[in-house]
Amino acid sequence: MRKLEQLPDALLLTISGKLDLRSLCALGCSCRTMNDSLSQFLLQLPVLHLLDTALPAKALKRYLEGNSTIKEVALDCAMLHQEDGTLLLKPHLKKLHLKNCADLTKHPQFFSDIRQHAPALRYLSLDLFQPDEQEDFESIVLEFRKTLCDLQCLNFLSLKGQGKMFDGQVFRILSTVCPPSLRALRIININEGDIRRLFDLSFIPSTDHLTPDIHVTGYSSLQKISLVLDTITDTLMCVLTSTLVNLTELDLLDDPVVPPQADLSNWGIQQIANCQNLKVLSLIRGRSKSWGRGQSSSFRRVNDLGLLLMAESCKDLEIVRLGGFSQVTDTGLHCILENYPHLRVFELIGMKQTSDLTFHDMVATSCSLVVVSLPAANQITSDAVVQLASCSQLKLLNLAFCRSVGDRGLKALSYLSKLSLLDLSGADITDFGLISLSKSSMPLVSLSLRSCKRLTHNGITALTRGSLPYTLQELDFSNLPCITDLSVMAFIESGMQLIDLRLRDCYAISDECVAALASMNYAGKDHGGSLRVLDLSNNIGVSRKILNLFQKPCFARLEWLGLPKHLKSEVMATRLHDQRPRVHFSFTTNPDKEFSYDTLSSKHRDHWGVEIGVGLSFHQRCDLCALMQG
């Protein structure tokens, strides 16, 4: 048998190319031969994605220093400083995505370095912050203008600003020096009034909704636009749809503090007809702010008539996301399903008035839904779920807190052969429904049963039988009184390779459960199995003894850990952080505010996006578009 050092270098490089970054680092620590091979491979590393982990410049030098061929860099720059900017920029760099980059973008020199060291950039995403001095701000504006002029290959631009950085000066620069190659633009934290300055448009107010005088600018080549702003209005819709007639994706999110005087109405919705090539439409009003007197924020001037008028155009729509349309009923929503034959993603957010009539007679519709999301639609019952079960291509179904969905709906879903993600949080299901699910052949990867209070130990353990243990990777059992140590041990004994396990508010969980999880194997080795996310928040049954189980080598793949608040102490927090610097520890009573739970892991989302072209974030869809265009 050959020794490892006798293997050809080409073979070792091929093996390294099949692994992710975390596995590469572990492999490099195994022996000197693999460490040397890793050093050689890092000089040819084409992609570096570390958005979830902030590393200092000293650690990044191994990945970037001497690598002149890298094409994509996505980093959390929280631990980087002004002088580290040039480390990230390479001559062949195509994509640069930086978050928490205040110490970089607050200095004009960084923008100068971008155009000098990375002139071939096609994708640029930055967080912009207010500089300390007015003189620095003016210098940044000037350097930013020069950078945009020189980046002639730029396809995607994303800017997230705070304070003065997003005033009229920056917008006028974008409108005058916009690269002709720009196809996608995303801006976070922008005022509706500044949009007109961005596009250099003049608007003539009219009481009878006459079309305003619009001057077309260099932005006519834009195909995708995403804005997070204060208010979505008729004016905004008219400006965007009349100027950007080639739009294929329109993504707007607002969250007004008070009820806006000029709000979106049926007339504004009707303007979408100007974009005949539109494939993605997302209009969402945030609900984080209350307007007082029991009023929740919503689009109150849009009703079924607006959606009926919109449904007469844009026949190529594939993705529709609507949120906060409180006056829209089943009539308008069903019209969307009937009139868009290519519709594959249908999401309704914060629309509690949605009922079973929206999905009446789904067999007669021509659309082939792949993703359906109906969170907190209290009027949805098992009848609607039975209708959705006729969509044979369905892969993702979110019925979180649809409290009238019961066993009959779950039994209908068990016949779907492609369903991978199912969220039944708060549903009125029993053990009988889970037994039906366990007998199915669906390739279920992620399942949420949070707050399903009627379940018992027998129903939960039924999931360990059949084919589900071979596919399930993400489980949410939060706030289930029936979950005990024995329940968790049944899943461990089934050999299920869990990546994400949430046991928040499961008061019967004790130290024995955590010890059992730490004993799990992955590929015949390692303590803690494949777990990357483990949530034990608010579990009063666990003691300080479990903290020793989170020391190395246990839970080697862990990335996020939620612990009960009674275990928190400054000494203990420091000790855990020193031993596991790559793990994010949370002691909050409501971890959802600190950790963004995503029921669909990025791995599965990427796979579905390449396969069906939908279900991706704005960034990912732009990446896919650029890839397809070569």
Average pLDDT over residues 397-424: 94
Question: Percentage of the chain with pLDDT > 90?
Answer: 41
Between CA 517 and CA 531 the distance in angstroms is: 9
Which carries the bigger pLDDT value, residue 204 or residue 222? Answer: 222
Average pLDDT, the chain: 81
Average pLDDT over residues 116-140: 80
Spatial contact of 587 and 563, defined as CB atoms under 8 Å apart: yes
pLDDT at residue 204, as a whole number:
40
Question: Percentage of the chain with pLDDT > 70?
Answer: 77
Q: Tell me the whole-structure pTM to 2 decimals.
A: 0.84
Q: Apex CA 291: angle with CA 289 and CA 294, to 5°?
A: 105
Q: What are phi and psi of 227, to 5 degrees?
A: -130, 135
DSSP assignments along 500-545, one per residue: EEE-TT-TT--HHHHHHHHT--BTTB-BSTT--EEE-TT-TT--GG
Average pLDDT over residues 548-571: 83
Q: Cα dihedral sign for 114, 142, 103, 598?
A: negative
Q: Looking at this protein, which amino acid is placed at residue 123? A: Y
Listed in order, strand segments (DSSP E) in 77-218 are 95-99, 123-128, 156-161, 184-190
Range from 153-157, 495-499, 517-521 carrying the lowest mean pLDDT:
517-521
Between CA 539 and CA 504 the distance in angstroms is: 6
pLDDT at residue 93, as a whole number:
92
Interval 441-488: pLDDT, tens? 899 999 999 999 999 999 999 999 989 999 999 999 999 999 999 999
pLDDT at residue 454, as a whole number:
94
pLDDT at residue 459, as a whole number:
94
Looking up tokens 């019925």, which residue turns up? 399
- Helix pair angle (9-17, 32-42), 10° resolution: 70
